[in-house]
Amino acid sequence: MTASEATAWAESQIRELLALGVDLPDAQATVRWVLDNLPAGADPNTWVPDPALLDEPIDEAAIEDARIAYYAGDHVPARFKRLLDAGEE
């Protein structure tokens, strides 16, 4: 797949995901994940990821990475970030 083909595929997939009601950051992240993990020569329209690729261990490092990504994301309103930090009374 050439760079221009990948771009065209990504744009069409993002349009389809938006039409289905997926928000833009999630659509972009999903398409980016597929392109990042797509084996060389594979067709993104028919490729199915190996389940082992999806089975990422949840350890302290993964939790910290997710927390950093959540806090750094512009798509998450500040009030939700404050709620995550709030302690239960």
The CB density around residue 31, as the number of other CB atoms within 10 Å, is: 20
Output Rg (C-alpha) for the chain, integer angstroms: 17
Mean pLDDT of the 67-79 span: 77
**Overall pTM > 0.85:** no
Q: How much is the pLDDT for 89? A: 54
Count CA within 13 A, CB hemisphere, residue 89: 2
Q: Which of 27, 29, 9, 28 is nearest to 17 (CA)?
A: 27
Place 87 in a pLDDT band, splitting at 50, 70 and 90: low
Give tens-digit pLDDT for 40-67. Answer: 999 999 999 888 877 877 888 888 888 8
